[in-house]
Structure 1
Amino acid sequence: MLQTRYLLICMLNLSCISIACGQYQNAGIKGEITDAQNNPLLAASVFLLKGQDSAVVKLAITDQHGMFSFSDVTAGKYLIKATLVGYKAITTAAFDLKSGINFNAGAINLAANTIKLAEVAVNNNNHFTDALPGLITLNVRNNILSAGSNVIEILKRAPGVQVDNSDNISLNGRSDVLVMIDNKPTYLSGQALADLLGGMPASMIDKIELISNPNSSFDAAGTGGVINIKQKKDRGTGTNVQVINSMGLYQPGGNRSSEVKLNTGFNFNHHTGRINIFGGYAYNSAPIDRSSSSDRLVTYLNELDQINVNWFSQQRRQINNYRLGVDYSINPKHILGFLVNGSVSNLSANKNTSSLISTLGVIDSTILTKSNLQKKLSNLMLNVNYRGDFSRGGQLTIDADYSNYIRHSTELIQSEYTKDDDKSAYRFLTLQNTSPSEFDLYTFNATYQLKISLTNRIAAGFKASYVKTDNNSDFGQLINGTYHADTLFTNQFKYTERINSAYINYNHLFSKKMGLEIGTRVEQTISDGLSPDQKENISSNYFDIFPNVQLNNTISANHQLLFTYSRRITRPRYEDLNPFLSYIDQYTYQIGTPYLRPFYSNTFELTHIYKEKLTTVLSFALINRFTQVVYTQNNNSQIVTLSKMNLGDRYNYGIHLMTPIAFNNYYSVDFDLSMLYQHFSNLSSGGSLDSGSPDVTLKTTHYLKLPLNFRLELFGLYETATTFGIFRYKPNYYFNAGLSKGLFKKQATVSLRVDDVFNTDKNIYTSYYQNLNIGGNQKNSFRLVQLSFSFVFGSRSVKPVRRRSTGDEDEQGRAGAN
C-alpha cells in the first residue's frame, strides 16, 4: 500500500514537470526587412532585445529576400531593432512571445537617411542612384529619364558604366560584365544580349544593382563585376495589373525621315493564400539606325592606297519578352518556385555601303553594296527553385535550370563595281550568307547557409553546368539564280563545355561596427570543340581557385569603409572560339580564334562613404592576357581580318566620386565623376603594344520641381579623349531631358523624354598598330523624342514575389551570337 502511494506521488510529480515543460517550451521569431518601397533589404542587422532593459539577446543578418529569423527563444517580452548602412535604424514596439507559439513580426520598413544641405532635406530614393559600400542601386521605377527607355539606355547613364558602339558593357573601366535578371542569368552575350536588353522596357524594371567586386557566392566569371536587373514585383494581397504604352519619333538626321518607336506591355501579380502568381509581357518595335565612315591607308606595290568606306544601316528590331512564375508556400519555412522567361525577336536591316578606292589621292574605283538581313532569335529559360529554412538559422536553396537559344540569320548582299574612268558598272556580285546556330544549357546549383553563432555565419555551395552548341555558316555566290557554296566561308563548329564549381564563405562580426568576410571558389572547366569540315579538334581542361576578401568598418556616424579583393575570370565567348571565316565586305573578314585562352583579373577596391553622402572608391585591377579585337591587314590583297587575340596585361587605376547635392526644395543634382587610367602592354607574337592614357567621365543629373506638380530631369555626359587597346578615341558628349506629371491620384503617369537633344553622341577614333593605319567615326544612336503613359489597375499593394537566385551566372555572358 505504501509503495503504491509513493508510485502515485512520483507519477503526479512527473506529470507536473511534463506540463511545466510544455508550458515553457521555446518558440521562434521571423520577419522581413524592407525599404520604403517594400523592396527586401539584404544584409540588414536585426537585433532581438529584451523588453525590460533592451539588452541584446540574439543577432541575425537578413538574406537576399530580406528575411530574418530567431530560433529557440524563451517566452517573454521583446523588441526588434533593425539597422542598415544608408537607412535609419528602427525599433519595434514591445511584443509578448508566448511559450511554444512562433511569432511573425511581418515586414519592418527602414526609411532611407536624408541628406541635409542648407537645412533642406532631400530623400535619396527620389534620385536615380543610391550608393552603399560595394553596391550602387539605380532607382528606375520613378526616374523620369527612364520612362519609355530600355535597359541599354538606362545603363548609359549609370555611375561607372560605359556602353560601347556594339552595346558591350563595362563597369569602372573593366569589360566583360556578368549580367543577371532577377538574380538569374540571361545566358546571352554580344548582339543577342544587346537585343534582349534593348528590348526590355524600363516600365518593367524596378531597380538595377551594380556590384563591382562580388564575393565567392557568385560565379567567378565576369572580370568587370555584376549587373543585376530586378523587374517590378508588387506587394500585399490581391491582384495588380500595370499597363504601359509609349511612342516616340527617332530622328537619324540628314535627309533621312523620322521613324516611329513603340513600346507596350503589362505586368501582373496575383497573391492569394499560399500561391503567388506573377508575370508580364512587353512588345518593343524600335529603329536601330547606325552609321559609320572610315579611312584606311594601305601600301600596295610601293604606292599608297586609300580605302574610304561610308556605311549606313537602317534596322528595325521587334521583340516580344515574356515571363510567368509561381511561388507556392508549402509552409512558412519551405517554398517551391517555378519560372519561365523568354523572348522572340525579329530583326530586319537594309544596309548601304559605299567603298571608294584611291591611289595617290585619285579615286580609282567604287564599290556600291546593298544588303538585306533577316534575323530571328528565340531564347527560353526555365527555372525550378526550392528554399527551406531550418533550425539554427540554416537555409538551403536548390536551383535547376535549362536554357535554349536559337538563331536563324540570312543576308543577301548585292555589289556593283565601277571604274572612275568609266562610270558604268563592269561587275555585279550577289552573295548569300546563312548562319543558323543553337545551344542548350543545363545547370544545377545548391547552397546552404548556417548561422554558427551571433557573430559567425558560413555559406557553402556547389554548381555543375553543361552546355552544347552547334554553329553553322553557309556562304556562297548566286550566279543566274543558282547558289554556289564558297568552301572558304562555309563550315560547322560543335562545342561542349562542363564547369564544376564549389565555394565557401565565412562571415565574422568583430563588433557592431566591424565585420570580415573571406571566401574561396574553385572551378574546373572541361571543353571540347570540333570543326568537321576543317578536321580540327580543340580540347582544354583546367582548374582555377578564386579567393575573395571583404572587410567593412563603420568608423563613426560620418565615416564608413569597405575594402574588397577578388580574383575573377572571363572565358572566351562561344562564338569567339568558332574558327569560321566570316565575310563582312570585300575588304573585311572576321575569324574566330579556337585557341583563345581565358583571361584573369585581380581587383582591389577601397570605398569610403562620408556622412552617407559623398562616396569615394579607389580601385586597382590587373588583368592578365586580356583579349581584344585586332585588325590584321594584308597589304597585297588589301584585306583586313578581324579576330580576338590575347594581347598581354592591362592595368586599371581608378578614382570614382559620387555625391548628391540639394540646393533648395526645388533643385538638386547628382554628380558622378569617374577618373581612370588604363595601361596596355603586349609582347606577344601578334605585335608590340605599349599604350595608356587617362579616361575621365563626368555625368550629372539635375532634378527640378516645377509648378502644377511637374517634374523635370536633365542629364549630361562628357568623356575626355582616351586610349583603349589599339584605338584612340576623341572626346564625346551628349545631353538628355525629361518631363513628367502624375495623374488620377498618381495611378497614372505621363512623361516626355528627349535623348541626345543636340545629336552629338558619336565616337571618333584612330588606330596605328603594326601596318594598320585607320581612322573613322561611328554613330549608333540618334535623337529620340518619346511620349510615355502608364496606368495601374487594381490593388496598388501586392505581396512581393519571392526574389530568387539561380545557378547559372557564368554561361550567360558567353552563349550569345552576333
Structure 2
Amino acid sequence: MYKFFLTVLLFIVSTQVQAFDAAAGKVTGKVMDAVSKQPIEYATITVLNKSTKNVVNGTITDGTGSFVIKGLAPGNYIFKIQSLGYQEYTINTVSVQKNASINLPVIALVKQENVLQGVTVTAKKPLVENKIDKMVFNAEKDLTSQSGVATDLLKKVPMVSVDVDGNVQLAGSSSIQFLINGRPSTAFGNNIADVLQAIPASQIKSIEVITNPGAKYDASGLGGIINIILKDNHAKGINGNLSLTAGTLLQNGSFNLTARKKNFGINAFVSGGARLRSTTSNTVDRASIDTLNKTNVALLQSGTSRFTRHGMQSGIGFDWTLDSMNNISGGVNYNLFGYAGSGFVNQTQTTTDIMNGGNVLSDIASFSNSNGGFHFHNIDANLNYKKTFAKPDQELDISLNSSFGHNHGYSNSEQFLVPSDSKFFGTQNDNPGTNNVHVLTVDYTQPITSKIKFGTGGRVTLTDINSTASILSLNNNTGNYYFDSTQSNHLNYHQQVYAVYSELSFPVGTLFDAKVGGRYERTEINDYYSNAISQVKTPGYNTFVPSVYFIRKLTGNSTLKISYSKRIERPSYQDLNPFVNTSDPKNISTGNPYLQPQIGNRYELSYNKQINNIGSFMVAAFYRTSNHDIQPYVVFYPDYTVGDSVFTNVSVSTRQNIGLEKNIGINLFSSIDVSNALNLRTNMFFYERNTINALDPGYNSNSFNYHINLNASYQFKHDVAAEVFGNFRSARNEVQGRYPSFTTYSFAVRKQFWNKKGSLALTAVNVFSQYLDQRTVLTGPNFTTNNLRQIPFRSIGLNFTWKFGKLEFKKDDNTKPDSGGNGLDNG
C-alpha cells in the first residue's frame, strides 16, 4: 500500500518539477581582486527578486573565481557579491529572459581597510523568537543553564514546565512529540526524562516549541512538538568548540568539530553526562478498606534508594551543495543512556477490625532489598535531499530516517520478615528488547503567486518493537528460584502510519494572512502479547487532522495570531504491555493492551509585540480538550492474582482512558532591556483543568495550576556577566490526587577570555537546601496514599568552554523574511 502511495506521490512531484524547470535561465560570471587581478575563491553570490527583495538563489565562486547560477525564471534580479575583507558589490538589475544564458562582465572587488581578522560579527538575536507556528528559544544566550542539561533549559521556555524528576509538560500536557534536529529517535520512545537529563545544555543551540503544529507535521502529541536543535557551524575552514562541566551532582561535556571547504562540509560531535550517585529517602503511608472482610489496613513503608544516571551521544554528518539548487545532507548518530539504583524499605502492615472497635487482627513487620537498572543504546541514520527552484519558495524535500534501538532492563527484589530475618518473597526480572523506527518523508512547496503558496507531501512511519521479560520467582519451600511462566512475558508490536497532507497559505485582502491545511493518517497495528487473557486484533483506524492559522500584523511592530489544530496521541508499547511488575508486591504496575488513542483539539489566541531597543512581550491564551484522555490510574485490591501467586493489600497502577479532560489557560512572557547591561525577563503560565472521570463516576477533578519564573542578567563589563533565575511550579492535580509543587533557583557568573573564545562559568542550584521535599496525595475508592520523597537537588558546577578555529564575518540575512512572502512560516 505505502509503496504504491509513494510511487504516485513522487511521480506527481517530479512531473511538476520538470514543468517548472523548462523555461529556466542561466547566469555566469567571474569575481577577481581589483588590484591584483587574482581570482577570488569562496565569494558569495546572492540573487534577489528585484520586485519582492526575496532571496531566490545563490552560490559561491570556485578556485578560478567563476560561478554559475542556473534555473532562474524570466524576470529582473539583483545580484550581490560579498567576500571576506572586500567591499560588497551590487548589480542592481540583471534581466533574465526565457531560456536565456547571460555572461556577466568580470566583477572586481575592492578591499576594505582596517578589517579585523578572525572575528564573527552577527546581529543580536532575541532570547525568544515568536513565529507564525512556533516559538524559538535561543539557548546559546542563556547563562545559568550553561553547566546543566536539557531539562534546565526547558524550564525557561514559554508554555513548558518541568517537574523535579525531569518530566516535561507543554501547555499543561505531558503528551509531547520530541525531536532532535527535526528528526524522531527511538531514544525518546523509552524514558524521555532520562534522555533529556543526559543531553548537556552546552550542546544545545535552540529549542523550538510548536503548540499548534500545521498539517505538514506528524499528528502525534496532544501538547505539541518540542524540537531540540544541537549546535552546528557553517563557517568555512575548520572550527569547533569544547565544553566541560564538573559539578557536585552533575558532570557533562561536549565536543564539536566542523570542517568546510567550498560546497562540502562535515561535522562530528560527542557529548555526555552523568548524575553522580545520590540518595533519596521515601515514605509511603497508605490507608485502605477491605469491604469484603470488614477490615482497615494501614501500610507504612520507609526507606532510601541510591541511583546514578549516565548518557552519551555521538555523531558524524555531512552537507553537500551539489549546485545552487541541489543539496544532499545526512548523518549517523550513536546514543547511549541508562541508570542504575539500589535501595531498602522497612515496612509495617497493621490490620484492624472495623466491626469490633478497631481490634488489631495482625501486625506484620518486614524489610526489603532491591536493585535494578535500565540501559539503552541506538543508532540513528538520516539522508536528506533538498531541491530549490528559480521561483522563490518553490522547493522539494525528501528525507529518510531510521533508528535502531536496543534496551535492557533488569530488577531484583527480596523481602524478609522481622525479626526472624526469613526470606518470604523474591523475584528477578530480566527484560531485553529492540525498538526500530523507519520514516520516509516527502514535502513539496509550490508558490502560486508571490503571496499564495501551496504545500503537499506524505510520510510513512514503520515501528517494530520486540520485548521479552523473563521472571524468576522464589520457591518458599526450597529457597531456590524458578522460571515463572505465569509472570514472564513476550510482546511483538508493529505499527504502520501512512499520512498525506496539503496546506495553502494566502492573504485575505489586507485583513490578515492565513494558512489552512489538512492531514490524513491511516494507522495499522499488528501486536501480540504472550500473557494477555486473549489475543484481540487491534483494528486499524483513520484520523483526519485539520489546522488553521490566521495572523494579522498590527502597527507598532506587533502581531495577532489565531490558530487551531487537532492532534492524536497513540498509546506507547510500554502503556500497552500487560507485563506485571511485582518487584514491590504492595505496589504493582502493569500495562493496558486495550487503551484507545487520545484525540485532542486545541485553540490558541496570541499577541506578540517587539519593542524597539527595549524588549518583547507575548501573551497566549488557549483552550484544549482531550477525549479518551490517558492518565496513570491506581486501583486498590485486597487480593490480586498474578499467575499462581496471590498478592494481598496491593495497589495496582496502570494507564487508563479516564474520560474527557478540558484545559483553559494563558501564558505571559516578557523580556525587557532595562539598560545596556541589565535584562529582566519573566514567564508565567496559568491554567484551569477539568477532568470528567468515566471510570469512577463522581471522582471528577477540578484544579487551578500555574508556574512562574523570573530571570535577571547583568553584563558588568565586556567579559564578565552574571545571572539569577528563580522558578516555582504549583501543585499539579490529576484525576486521583495532588502531585507536589516545588521551587528551584540558580545563580551563575561567567568570565570570558582569549578574545571571547574561552569562558569559565560558575553555577549554583538550590544552594541553601540540600533536598526538595515532594509530597503526593492519591485518593480512590477505598484507599488514600500519602507519599513523601526527599530528593537531593543542591548542585554547584564549574563550566569551561572554548571555541577554536578560523571565524569569519557573517551577516544575518535580513532580506529573507520569515513569512516566505506572506507572513507564514512552514517550520
Common fold by TM > 0.5: yes
| 1:763 has 2:774 as partner | yes
Kindly provide the amino acid, as one letter, of the partner of residue 182 in structure 1: N
> In the alignment, does 2:311 pair up with 1:319?
yes
Q: Read off the aligned partner of 1:339 and give its amino acid letter.
A: G
**Kept after mapping to 1: 8 A contact 2:79/2:92:** yes
Q: Which runs of 5+ in 2 are unaligned?
A: 1-22, 29-45, 59-68, 82-87, 108-121, 353-357, 640-647, 812-827
**How far apart, CA to CA, are the structure 2 residues paired with 1:433 and 1:76?**
68
Which residue, 273, 280, 284 being the options, matches 1:294? 284
Higher relative contact order (CA 8 A, sep 6+): 1
Q: Which amino acid aligns with 1:340?
A: V
1:72 equivalent in structure 2 = 73
| 1:505 corresponds to which of 503, 507, 529 | 503
* 1:658-737 aligned within 5 A: 658-684=669-695, 686-706=696-716, 709-737=719-747
Alpha-carbon distance in 2 for matches of 1:778, 1:546 = 41
Task: Give the counterpart of 2:622 among 619, 642, 656.
Answer: 619
Local SS of the residue matching 2:221? coil
Report if the CA contact (8 A) 1:211-1:227 is conserved. Answer: yes
Partner of 2:11: none
Q: Secondary structure at the match of 1:576?
A: helix
Aligned to 2:415: 415
Q: 1:234 to 1:124 in 2, by over 3 A?
A: closer
CA distance in 2, matches of 1:694, 1:490: 42
Structure 1 pair 723–670 and aligned structure 2 pair: CA distance change class (3 A): same
- Aligned amino acid, residue 341 of structure 1: N
2:529 maps to: 531
One-letter amino acid matched to 2:287: L
Alignment partner for residue 496 of structure 1, among 494, 499, 514?
A: 494
Q: CA deviation at 1:403?
A: 1.1
- Deviation for aligned residue 1:208: 0.7
CA distance in 2, matches of 1:701, 1:664: 15
Unmatched tracts of structure 1, length 5 or more: 1-23, 30-45, 51-55, 81-90, 106-122, 251-260, 801-818
- Give how far 1:159 is off: 2.2
Structure 1 residue 263: Cα displacement = 1.5
> 1:61: how far off?
9.2
Selected match of 2:657 from 643, 646, 655: 646
Q: Are residues 1:473 and 2:472 paired? A: no
How far apart, CA to CA, are the structure 1 residues paired with 2:324 and 2:57? Answer: 16
1:62 to 1:497, Cα distance in 2 relative to 1, 3 A: farther
Q: Which residue of 1 aligns with 2:482?
A: 484
CA separation of 1:751/1:539 partners in 2, compared to 1, >3 Å: closer, same or farther? same
Partner of 1:116: none
Superposed counterparts of 1:539-578, under 5 Å: 539-578=538-577
CA RMSD of aligned residues (A): 3.2
Aligned to 1:274: 263
Secondary structure, counterpart of 2:219 in structure 1: coil
Shift of 1:187: 3.0
2:451 corresponds to: 455
Structure 1 position 160, deviation (Å)? 1.9
Deviation (angstroms), 1:359: 4.1
Measured in 1, the distance between the counterparts of 2:539 and 2:553 equals 46
Which moved further from structure 2: 777-786 or 655-664? 777-786
Question: Which residue identity is paired with 1:548?
Answer: S
State the match for 2:329 in structure 1.
337
**Contact 1:734–1:758 (Cα < 8 Å) also in 2:** no
**Structure 1 pair 60–542 and aligned structure 2 pair: CA distance change class (3 A):** farther
**Matched AA of 1:617:** A
What's the TM-score once normalised by structure 1's chain length? 0.81
From 785, 788, 791, the counterpart of 2:802: 791
Q: Residue 87 of structure 1 corresponds to which residue in structure 2?
A: none
SS of the residue corresponding to residue 218 of structure 1 reads coil
Q: Paired residue for 1:307, among 299, 302, 306?
A: 299
Taking a change above 3 Å as real, the CA distance of residues 336 and 722 of structure 1, as seen in their structure-2 partners, is closer
Confirm or deny: 8 A CA contact 2:545 2:565 kept in the other structure: yes
1:738 to 719, 730, 748: 748
Go from structure 1 to structure 2 and tell me whether the alpha carbon gap of 1:58 and 1:346 turns closer, same or farther (over 3 Å shift). closer
* Contact kept in structure 1, 2:239 and 2:259, CA below 8 Å: yes
- Stretch of structure 1 that moved more, 525-534 or 216-225: 525-534
* Cα separation, 1, equivalents of 2:784 and 2:52: 70
Indicate the larger mover: 740-749 or 721-730. 721-730
Look up the match of 2:158. 159
Q: CA deviation at 1:288?
A: 6.3
Q: Is the 8 A contact 1:285 1:319 kept in 2?
A: yes
Pair 1:427–1:309, CA change in 2 (3 A): same
Q: Deviations over 1:628-662 (max 9, x none)?
A: 01001013421111110001111110111111133
Could you report, residue by residue, the CA deviation over 1:222-241 in whole angstroms, capped at 9, with x for unpaired residues? 01011111111112210012
2:433 pairs with 1:437: yes
Give, in whole Å, the separation in 1 of the partners of 2:697 and 2:484: 31
* CA contact 1:237–1:799 (8 Å) conserved in 2: no
The aligned residue for residue 383 of structure 1 is 382
Q: CA deviation at 1:713?
A: 1.1
Paired amino acid for 1:741: K
In structure 2, the CA distance between the partners of 1:538 and 1:26, relative to structure 1 (3 Å rule), is closer
Partners in 1 of 2:713 and 2:239 — Cα distance? 30
Residues 186-243 of structure 1, C-alpha deviation per residue, up to 9 Å, x if partnerless? 2344653222221111121111111111101100000101111111111221001212
Cα distance, 1:92 vs structure 2:
10
Code of the aligned partner of 1:286: R
Query: Residue 737 and residue 70 in structure 1: after superposition, are their counterparts in 2 closer, same or farther (change >3 A)?
Result: farther
> Larger deviation: 479-488 or 588-597?
479-488
Quick one: distance in 2 between partners of 1:673 and 1:269? Answer: 38
Task: State the identity as a percent.
Answer: 21
1:372 is matched by which residue type in structure 2? N
What SS does the corresponding residue of 1:745 show, helix, strand or coil? coil
Please state whether the residue corresponding to 1:546 is helix, strand or coil.
strand
Deviation at 1:364, TM superposition (A): 2.4
Map 1:4-83 → 2, pairs under 5 A:
50=50, 56=51, 71-74=72-75
